[in-house]
Structures are given as C-alpha cells and as structure tokens.
Chain A
Amino acid sequence: MVLLMLSKEEVLKIAQLARLELSPEEVVFFQNRLGRVLDYMKELNGVKLEAAATVRHVPEDAEPFREDVVEEAFDREAIMRNAPALDEGGFSLPAILESE
C-alpha cells in the first residue's frame, strides 16, 4: 500500500467524520501535519508478524459482571449545571427534525 499526501478534500472528509469545523488555514495546516505523521507510520507496512494476534489488555482477574442493583446515582442537578444551555431541566439544542 502506498500512502499519498492527503488532499484537501480528504482532510475535509475526515474532519466531517470527526465533527470538526476547520478554517481554510487549518485545512492546509492539518494536511501537512497528518501527511507528515501518516508518512512516518508507513514503517508498519513492512513489519513481519510472527502470528497475527491482538491485545488483551484487561487484567485476567478483572470481573466485568456484577449484580444489577438499583442505587442512588449522581446528583442530577450537579450534572445538568455544566450544560451550556438548558430547557425545562433538559439539554437544549436546535430541532433535529423540521416541523411541518
């Protein structure tokens, strides 16, 4: 696989997937930086693997299961206080579906 310098369109595509609005200057900036880093990572293409395996990083004795018990949760008000805008005690954002 040959890595090419990313085009502006590709940078904008990635930014859109990542939900990031970029200024025209930033597009050029990230085009260079992403290109520089991805180019370095080309070294991985040639790595010979003895056996394809992926990583298990959770300790052997960690127990991901527990009883499902209803408990006191966080203070709702303390959590909502951090929202930039509230509407009747809920998070506020513009309408997602247009009304008729």
Chain B
Amino acid sequence: MSSLHSLDIQSLLAGYQKNDFSVQEVAKSCLEAISKKNPQLNALLEVSKDRVLARAAELDQKKSDAQRLKLFGVPIAIKDNILVKDWQCTAGSKILQGYRSPYTATTVARLEAEGAVVLGKANCDEFAMGSSNESSAFGPCRNPWDLERVPGGSSGGSAAAVAGSLCPAALGSDTGGSIRQPASLCGLVGIKPSYGRVSRFGAIAYASSLDQVGPLGKTVWDSARVLEVISGWDRFDATTSKAPVPSYSDALKESTLKGLKFGFCKSWLEGVDPAVQKAFENSMQLLKQAGAEIVEIDLPYTKYSLSVYYLIAPSEASSNLARYDGVHYGFRAPEFKDSETLYNRSRGQGFGKEVKLRIMLGTYALSAGYYDAFYLKATQVRKMIQQDFSNAFKKCDAVLTPTSPSTAFKLGEKSDDPLKMYLSDVFTLPVNLAGLPAVSIPCGLDDLRLPIGLQIIGRPFDELRLLQMARVHESLFGVLKHP
C-alpha cells in the first residue's frame, strides 16, 4: 500500500477500523513520501523517523483504541512555532536554532491523547511573520501545485506538507491569515478559530491578542475533526473560553443552508484577480442554489485593517520577542564585550529582516510621543472594525470573501515591497482583529491550475454552523485532487 500517505483522515480511520493496514504501515508510507518529496518542498524542518515509528508501534499495540480515539494513528505535521517535547522548535528563526522544547503545547498534547502521531515540524515564516514562507531562516518552502511558487504563509510548511500528501493534516497558527491564506494557495481547508476557542499554551507568541492555533486538512470533515480535538478551555491559557466544544465532525451530517443568509461586501472585490472574482461569484451562485440568501453588507472600517494590524501586531511582537536575548535560549553572538552588546548583537544577528522591521515598527508605535497617534488610535479603530462585524451579523449569518486577492505567486515576486506582501492578507486580517472564526475552502482553479480559496467568516464561537456551511459548499463544489 504505497499511497497510504495520501489518504485523508476519514479514510484512515475507516481503514484502521476494518484492519486494512497498521499505523506502522501508514507511518512508513508518510516517511517514504517525505524522503521523496521534502528535499524539493522544504515543508518539514525536522522529521524524527525513530520517534514516529516508535509511536506508531505503540499505537499498533493498542489496536482496540482505534474505535475510541478520534485521531487514532493519524500522522500530523506541527508548525515549528508550536512546542512538542524533545522536538526542535525554531519558529523559523536562526535565534532559536537548536532549541529543544522542554514541554508539549496543549493543542499537541490533545492530539496525542486522541491517538495522533506527530510526524514532523513544519517550516514557517520567521516567528510567523510573513505571507509566503520566504522569511524562514531555513529556506523557503515551495507550493506542491507549482514548485516555482510560494505555498503562502506563514504556515506555508504545514500547507505544503498536506497539499503535497506528506500527511493528511497539519497544525498551523493564524495571527492575520497565516492558516487561511496558505490553505487558499494550496487548495486546502484551513480554520482560524474564534479567539479563545483554542489554547495558545506552548505556541510561540507573536501577537497575543490575535494568535490562534488551528488545523489545515484536505476536507471539511478532516479539519473539523482536528478542531474539535484541540478546542476548549485550558488552565494554562487564561484567554480560553469555557464554552462547551461540540463534535464538529459529527454535526456535519446535518449541514444545510436553508434559511441562512450570507453577507458580502461589493467594495472588497475591487483589485481582486479576475479568476478569483469569477470563482467567488460562482461560489455565491452555488450557495444560493443550495437555499441560502445573499445580502449586501457594508463594513466601512475594515478598509483600515492593514494599518491597524501592522501597528497592533508589531507592537505586541516587540514585547513578546524581547525574551530572545542571547542569554536564555538558542543563538548567542560569538563576540561581545559587555551584556549590552551581547543582547544587541545576538538579536541583530539572530533575527531576520522582516522580524527586525516589525520589532522596530512596534517599538516606534509604543514609544513616548507616538503611542497616542499610532498604537492607541489603532486599538480604537480595531473596536470600530469589531462593531462593523457585529452590525453585519444582524443582517446575515456569515460573511463571504475571497481568502486571498490572488492565487500563489512566484518566489521573490513580492519580497521587494513590504506593502505588496502585506496586501495578500487584506481579507483575512479583519477577522483576527475582530476575534472571529473563519474557514478557507477551495472554490476553484485559475488558468494555471492554481487553487483559489473562499473565506467564510462566522459569529464568535459559531464554528459549528460555519463548518456546516463549508461542508455544503464542499458537497457542491467537490474536493480538489492534489498534485
């Protein structure tokens, strides 16, 4: 069975139930796919064959658990900014090269408790800052649909690992679109949960008021299953909610659009690639045919999302990244005469350009004399963006947008101008600022056969309905055949 690595989660679970194959066979198939394809893709930064096979053997010993565990024997790649005990965790940065996690993130602990196999650590933009995976200190990751193109970012390695069929699912993190945009560019289902739905304990902080961990998978069912496992209150993250976690995957059976209203904002389509626009309009038709109503809405303050995000996220980052000082972890500059030079030099040499840019942006926005005009103003406009959405949700049950204004772009194409790169997240940023859940699902291919994504944004903690909507779209549009 050489193609076990390309099975989705649902098929794997069914196969285990019927005793069609063992966890070790699946793990070996994934490891083979990795040794064949990863040198080109650079999707995974660390794969521990020994650990993976040991874990697989341990699960095969407990075959009866296949009935009980939600992710029994499912290999999952973990973005390299999420801690897994004894595995490396670099966040794509030279400053954390060689760092070994002393503990496991809550999300990963929950995956393992349900029988998942940690397969490897996935490449990402440095400290999750980027939309193309090009800011990784360990080289760019490539899009399996076209190796000349980026997989998106910052969870680019997670997306490429799944789209390239190295494994059926991956964990990513999303601060401004870092799960949804790569899901869109790689033809996957990526979920950014409501703020507070999923624990951030053990996820390396970028911007704490925006960060959420979430899944990338090939189907709505697969991503829904991973989400229900990682969601829920965590005593180690005071911002997690105690709201009960429904079984999202089971609830997909009852998916319907009857009586539901989708909102869309006409002005958002300006400047979007024609192919993306066409696929988006086609999706609206599909949803209408399935019984939904489409209404026009206005989100007047969301046009400031880019400015608001690039003040708030860097401000929080400048504080969160202060801990990398050449003393506690990882990289230390070889030459220094006093502790001041030790800090400045270790940070100057250890961080890449995009990270330094954002740390300085944040430092500037928080510094005396600029705080009111930049940081405070941004938090006030953020509030208005939240209000935009709560007003919209009086008229509709969910908001539709393209996930990204374009399909996958070429390596190097947008790296000369930071704003060009930042604009690839123009539809995803407002969602993080407002703390809402959103999903990106495949909705088409352009002329070059590159995937296009549709974003559905839901009310806070309305993941269940959001995923049911996504499921109906998937049943009409179908699942992409991955390269």
Pairing of A with B: yes
Which A residues form the contact surface with B (CB < 8 A)? Answer: 1, 11, 14-23, 26, 29-30, 33-34, 36-38, 40-41, 43-45, 47, 49-50, 52-55, 57-59, 61-64, 66, 74-75, 78-79, 81-85, 91-96
Q: Which A residues are in CB contact (< 8 Å) with B103?
A: 74, 78
Are the CB atoms of A40 and B307 closer together than 8 Å? yes
Given known A20-B344, A59-B195, A78-B102, contact A33–B379 (CB-CB < 8 A): no
Q: Which B residues are in CB contact (< 8 Å) with A47?
A: 301, 304, 377, 381, 384
Q: Which B residues are in CB contact (< 8 Å) with A53?
A: 380, 383
Q: Which A residues are in CB contact (< 8 Å) with B348?
A: 20-23
Are the CB atoms of A94 and B338 closer together than 8 Å? yes
> A21's closest neighbor in chain B, by CB?
B348
At the interface, yes or no: B289 with Cβ under 8 Å from chain A?
no
Additional A-B contacts beyond A30-B357, A74-B102, A79-B102 (6; CB < 8 A): A18-B318, A54-B379, A82-B99, A82-B329, A83-B329, A91-B327
Q: How far is the CB of A56 from chain B (nearest CB, A)?
A: 9
At the interface, yes or no: B351 with Cβ under 8 Å from chain A?
yes
For the complex of A and B, the 8 pairs showing the least CB-CB separation, nearest first, are: A21-B348, A84-B332, A78-B102, A59-B196, A21-B344, A59-B241, A18-B363, A41-B307
At the interface, yes or no: B336 with Cβ under 8 Å from chain A?
yes
Q: Which A residues are in CB contact (< 8 Å) with B344?
A: 16, 19-21
Report how far A26 CA is from B356 CA in the complex, Å: 10
Are the CB atoms of B331 and A84 closer together than 8 Å? yes
- Interface size range on B against A: 35 or more
Given known A41-B310, A54-B379, A94-B337, contact A82–B240 (CB-CB < 8 A): no
Are the CB atoms of A55 and B379 closer together than 8 Å? yes
Are the CB atoms of B361 and A34 closer together than 8 Å? yes
Given known A34-B361, A40-B419, contact A59–B239 (CB-CB < 8 A): yes
- Choose from A20, A44, A62 the contact partner of B347 (Cβ within 8 Å): A20
> A98's closest neighbor in chain B, by CB?
B338
25 A-B residue pairs with Cβ-Cβ distance under 8 Å, sorted by A, are: A17-B367, A19-B325, A19-B343, A20-B348, A34-B361, A34-B364, A36-B417, A37-B418, A40-B306, A40-B419, A41-B374, A44-B374, A45-B373, A47-B377, A47-B384, A53-B383, A63-B242, A64-B238, A74-B102, A78-B100, A82-B330, A84-B326, A84-B327, A85-B332, A91-B328
Which B residues form the contact surface with A (CB < 8 A)? Answer: 98-100, 102-103, 195-196, 209, 235, 238-243, 301, 304, 306-308, 310-311, 318, 322, 325-332, 336-339, 341-345, 347-349, 351, 353, 356-357, 359-361, 363-364, 367, 373-374, 376-384, 386-387, 417-419, 435
> B318's closest neighbor in chain A, by CB?
A18
Q: Which A residues are in CB contact (< 8 Å) with B332?
A: 84-85
Report how far A43 CA is from B378 CA in the complex, Å: 11
- Choose from B195, B361, B384 the contact partner of A57 (Cβ within 8 Å): B195
Q: Which A residues are in CB contact (< 8 Å) with B99?
A: 82
> A78's closest neighbor in chain B, by CB?
B102
- A23, A61, A92, most chain B CB atoms within 10 A: A61
Q: Which B residues are in CB contact (< 8 Å) with A84?
A: 326-327, 329-332
Q: Which A residues are in CB contact (< 8 Å) with B338?
A: 94-95
Q: Which A residues are in CB contact (< 8 Å) with B349?
A: 21
Are the CB atoms of B360 and A29 closer together than 8 Å? no
Q: Which A residues are in CB contact (< 8 Å) with B326?
A: 84
Are the CB atoms of B419 and A37 closer together than 8 Å? yes
Q: How far is the CB of A13 from chain B (nearest CB, A)?
A: 9
Are the CB atoms of A49 and B195 closer together than 8 Å? no
Q: How far is the CB of A20 from chain B (nearest CB, A)?
A: 5
Report how far A16 CA is from B343 CA in the complex, Å: 11
Are the CB atoms of A30 and B356 closer together than 8 Å? yes
Given known A62-B239, A74-B102, contact A93–B351 (CB-CB < 8 A): no
- Choose from A22, A29, A61 the contact partner of B243 (Cβ within 8 Å): A61
- Choose from A1, A19, A43 the contact partner of B373 (Cβ within 8 Å): A1
- B326, B364, B374, most chain A CB atoms within 10 A: B364
Are the CB atoms of B382 and A55 closer together than 8 Å? yes
Q: How far is the CB of B263 from chain A (nearest CB, A)?
A: 21
Report how far A45 CA is from B370 CA in the complex, Å: 12
- B301, B304, B326, B363, most chain A CB atoms within 10 A: B363
> B340's closest neighbor in chain A, by CB?
A19
Report how far A55 CA is from B102 CA in the complex, Å: 34
> B210's closest neighbor in chain A, by CB?
A57
Q: How far is the CB of B458 from chain A (nearest CB, A)?
A: 15
Report how far A96 CA is from B338 CA in the complex, Å: 7
Given known A18-B318, A37-B419, A58-B239, contact A94–B345 (CB-CB < 8 A): no
Q: How far is the CB of B286 from chain A (nearest CB, A)?
A: 33
Are the CB atoms of B342 and A94 closer together than 8 Å? yes
Q: How far is the CB of B110 from chain A (nearest CB, A)?
A: 18
Report how far A92 CA is from B377 CA in the complex, Å: 41
Report how far A63 CA is from B332 CA in the complex, Å: 38
